[in-house]
Structure 1
């Protein structure tokens, strides 16, 4: 028998050997991923002609440093962004927390994310310089100074990269000190927000079907950042010898990866449709061939993911399962890295030119040609494929239906009227944003005003009456571990937060709802937002959220930080409706058409003119407010009556429990009866 010291030494050597094996495996995976990424990037760049273009004498040329430096800085930026997102997701969502505080290993991953974010910011800065160099055709050293400052502050591509630099730097700084799950959640939100700007300001912004191109690419990069970064973080953690909660992290990420895979597919499909004008361009252009290669690799990744969920995730608690997971995940990470390399090369490859019919100013501005005169047929057939709001409707409708189904299976009832109200609210979004109404709203102020009134004053009422928060709190299961935070705990925390208490204050919610239209339409903000797809999308989202917030405190049935007296609710309703009526009258009284910086860019041949159309829009804003006022008044009267009934039933139960049977009230009634009899006797 070996002495105790020898056994301890052997155990230490075994632990060190496992630690070295895990580190070596992680290093091999990282090297393979970088190699696959670079090989795919270089091959695609050469195939697309981005680095082999012939330099024409007399024309400006940024030089070889920019031709190679720009794609390399971009891929570094994308990889660092994905790693930052993945490490933060691992720390706050994939690990269980303890009463809102991160564990020791989770804190370590947040610190690692801060270093990845610092690399991200530096790569974004290099991309900014190389991008301007490529745009001006000058070497990188000659664009430093005023040109770079002007580009970063006035051109959309430069502004987007500056936004990335600022947010990534903020994540790097605050990631050094954050200890709570809430703080890390804020870092995740900042990191995801920083992923989007480069996608919104690339060549997709100039594609036809702007809504598909821009929203599709944004969804694509968000989903792939979550997928690639999350898998890399989980794989590294699984290789650690002292990695805790590996089974929990892998199981949770497996669910997240499935949604990310769907997001990558939807976003990539929408982006490809908006850039290609025929199926044959997939096979006859370098742009299409790169897309086909990405599709093939995407299918391979789907197969690997399916194998993970079916055979490996259930066995991950075993050492053999963990080793197999790490090996297969290493292959998956390498393929993902190759896909990201292809994506960067695709952004440097010229897409197919548009069709001749699509080379006109109206199409370049709107993403579609001038629509024909408005009719019922055109309103029903000229659908507007806005991917963002399509996803909003599908996701909100699907989650609500899943919650109702879960309650029904559990044997709990859910009022059918609430489901009808929620469905009707989503249908109003479809009717105003995705049909011909959304198309004509881009060229007619009156149709835009119909869209605005419905989104801010009718849709929110129906959604609020659907009681989505109540349904979520009843349908979502509590976290499996005490002190951990699942979706239900995060929702409850948000409802009880100081932010919720501030925004749901009657003065704040009413001010946002009332002041927003004046601040939008009577300032230069309106034409600026209308001229940009993201600005227009932000405007519509603001209409929805401002209306939802106001009606949530006025007529909502969900639990809120404060409950307003019904009399105050009626006062707020009458006040806001009066201000909205005055808003409509103010538009009608304008001597000059609004937002001519936008509407003046094109002529609607079958319209009566901007002034008459604006007058009609003001009349719509004045008159439409009567419908939601009547609807909310009816709902409030019904809620008030039910509240009084519940109060009376509680009083009766309290009286019976105390045995008093309302003795004071009975005595008072007897006193009144005696007075009545005395009056009759005197008469």
Structure 2
């Protein structure tokens, strides 16, 4: 029977129309809305009506109309693949790490969706080359296509999508565990990013906002669109089980996705628009306004979901109502994705011209003009808003603070020193990644070395001493159903995994920490990574992660796969620090400048001697290692002392409980201690 105040259809007992029929109707409606929005936006943006210059060839109507449709199919099928895998890996309850029948069905469906995704990416590759060369699609098949797919960034990104989508399609035929499904989900999410990094973001002057903004935007909206489509379909299915858990879990994920879309959309707009009036005076800006309006409507629908339908589903009712509101949400999202594809085909406004109309090579490469000579005030004021690290720092700080608050409200103690260490670690990231140090690190090797040393040798120590994994395990609630996997179970599984055991082995973590530094600076890799914003992000993230792994095994508080004796930790620390000191000396002894593949692309007018700057950088690398070494040694000695005290107390308890001969020795030691205290009082 239906609960009071609800209609029979809201309880899920009225199956008219059938779940499959409703899903087909929703899919057809979503495609229709997407195509209508795409066509309207393309016409408004002028990309379809723009006349081809006489000196350029026309690829023809097949490319002009087919390329936006192929891109839309690529985006939609990628989102559907992600949504189906999200349902299988994280939303449906699992049984002891194994997928249920319905979850396996969603993995198989994701396999077919990934196959279509790869085909759409291949079609996009052909039509994109046709559009660039101004040739009909069939005429570019052959050597031109091979060269484009292997030698141009846009072509390589689509080839990567094809390979990843094919891998997901093949893996989906055999995966039967939650871990496997989660791995497929991670792979699918990785496949969404490459094309986003080679479009307008790659040419935007604000690299720190544009590159991260567009990547986050694609990821967040794909999780949101694909997830709501999968959950809505699951609600329509008469056999769809565990709907309360599915709705509750996706509601939390959708909130994070909504925030991600909002933040990344704002950052992307700021990186491509140079004045507020361009929102209504430029075709690109008007399309952004249309996306903002649809985004606000999605927020209202999401709020309705969270406040009305999710609580009703939790009570065992409201499945049909949930599905109907989800259908509205899918239709609006289809229009949003159509607008997104049209935006990718619409030219953003041109940047303001520099005095004299000359192109500034430094701005083209770095995303900002050459800074003035370095001063203390410059380090404090010339901040760069790097969206990737802003989000990382905000999320890490917010989650840690929320976990501490949960423990305090529960009455559980948490050492204040760990909290201070964690936030000091985040503060060091702010200091060298967002301040003027980050700005000058792009043009001065010596300042870059300050950034490197802090990120690899100071920040990780403080973060490790914050014990984030221990805090998370204490703050997160276990899964409601025994055998299911929530965030706590996934974290515990990772800490006990073979991967964690491998990367935290001293024979892996220590060489990774040391050898990667030598490999970076004494090969062309340094110049290559510095020349692209994405490479710079990867490099700085690598510094933090490898440092975190090394110091985790040396002074880590969090549970680790193996316990290393304290004496071995000290030996390992001194050995690694010796290699780091020698690295600084090796930099100082270099006769040829390092990284000229990057630094040779521009001149620093106030820098008189590149070799002197490099020598300063080597001196910084050599000298700065003394501070973290001393800090870690102090922490190690304290940890060793406390461990010995705990071991002694444990031995005393066991000996007294067992009545062993050690009890006499313990009494004798206590007698000597009393005599010592008495002598001190008399003295």
Fold match (TM-score > 0.5): yes
Once residues 381 and 354 of structure 2 are traced to their aligned partners in structure 1, the CA distance between those partners, rounded to angstroms, is 20
Match of 1:166 in 2: 163
Counterpart-to-counterpart distance in 1, 2:260 and 2:242: 27
Shift of 1:660: 3.1
Match in the other structure for 1:38: 35
CA contact (8 A) 2:652 2:663 kept: no
> In structure 1, how many angstroms separate the alpha carbons of the residues matched to 2:474 and 2:58?
63
- Displacement over 6 Å in runs of 4+: 666-670
Q: Which of residues 131, 142, 146 in structure 1 aligns to 2:143?
A: 146
**Counterpart in the other structure of 2:675:** none
The structural deviation recorded for 1:21 is 2.8
CA distance in structure 2 between the aligned counterparts of 1:608 and 1:640, rounded to whole angstroms: 50
Cα deviation, 1:307-344, whole Å, max 9, x if unaligned, reads 11111111125776111111111111000000000000
- Structure 2 partner of 1:217: 214
1:178 aligns to what SS in structure 2?
coil
Contact residue 19 and residue 240 of structure 1 kept, 8 A: no
Give structure 1 stretches of 5+ with no counterpart: 1-14, 673-683
CA contact (8 A) 1:19 1:241 kept: no
- Corresponding residue for 1:598? 598
- Which residue of the partner structure matches residue 385 of structure 2? 385
- Range with greater deviation from structure 2 (629-638 or 25-34): 25-34
CA distance in 1, matches of 2:510, 2:55: 62
Offset of residue 396 of structure 1: 0.3
Count of paired positions:
657
Secondary structure of 2:558's aligned partner: coil
Closer, same or farther: CA 461–73 of 1 in aligned 2, 3 Å: same
Q: Which residue of 1 aligns with 2:423?
A: 423
After superposition, the Cα gap between the structure-2 partners of 1:19 and 1:375, relative to the gap in structure 1 and judged at 3 Å, is same
Report the equivalent of 2:236: 239
Q: Are the aligned partners of 1:209 and 1:385 in contact in 2 as well (CA < 8 Å)?
A: no
Which residue in 1 is equivalent to 2:450? 450
Which residue of 1 is the match for residue 64 of structure 2?
Answer: 67
* 1:175-229 alpha-carbon deviations (Å, 9 max, x no partner): 0110000000100000000011111111111112101001001111100000000
* CA distance in structure 2 between the aligned counterparts of 1:311 and 1:187, rounded to whole angstroms: 33
For the residue of structure 2 that corresponds to 1:164, the secondary structure is: helix
Aligned residue number for residue 464 of structure 1: 464
CA distance in 1, matches of 2:521, 2:591: 14
Q: Report how far residue 666 of structure 1 moved.
A: 6.8
Listed one character per residue, the Cα deviations across residues 277-309 of structure 1 (whole Å, up to 9, x for unaligned) are: 010000100000000000000000000110111
1:399-418 to 2 correspondence within 5 Å?
Answer: 399-418=399-418
Counterpart-to-counterpart distance in 1, 2:547 and 2:423? 17
Distance in 1 between the 2:327 and 2:392 partners? 34
Distance between the aligned counterparts of 1:566 and 1:56, measured in 2? 72
Q: CA deviation at 1:364?
A: 0.6
Whole-Å Cα distance in 2 between the matches of residues 226 and 19 of structure 1? Answer: 29
* C-alpha deviation, 1:16, in angstroms: 11
2:7 aligns with none
CA distance in 2, matches of 1:17, 1:620: 72
C-alpha RMSD over aligned residues: 1.7
Map of 2:575 onto structure 1: 575
Q: Does 1:285 align with 2:285?
A: no
Check conservation: 1:460, 1:548, Cα contact below 8 A. yes
Structure 2 unmatched ranges of 5 or more: 1-11, 673-683
1:543 matched to 2:575? The reply is: no
Match of 1:257?
254
Per-residue CA deviations over 1:539-558 (Å, capped at 9, x if unaligned) read: 00100000000000001111
The equivalent of 2:187 in structure 1 is 190
- 1:49 counterpart residue number: 46
What secondary structure does 1:396 align onto? helix
1:94 is displaced (CA, Å) by 0.5
SS at match of 2:385: coil
SS of the aligned residue for 2:354 comes to helix
Counterparts of residues 329-368 of structure 1 (less than 5 Å): 329-357=326-354, 359-368=359-368
Q: Partner residue of 1:441?
A: 441
Relative to the length of structure 1, the TM-score reads 0.94
Determine whether 1:114 maps to 2:108: no
Worse-matched range after superposition: 349-358 or 549-558:
349-358
CA contact (8 A) 2:244 2:316 kept: no
Whole-Å separation in 2 of the counterparts to 1:395 and 1:254: 19
Contact in 2 for aligned 1:129/1:144 (Cα 8 Å): yes
Alignment of 1:96-115 (within 5 A): 96-115=93-112
TM-score, normalising length: structure 2:
0.94
CA distance in 1, matches of 2:629, 2:530: 28
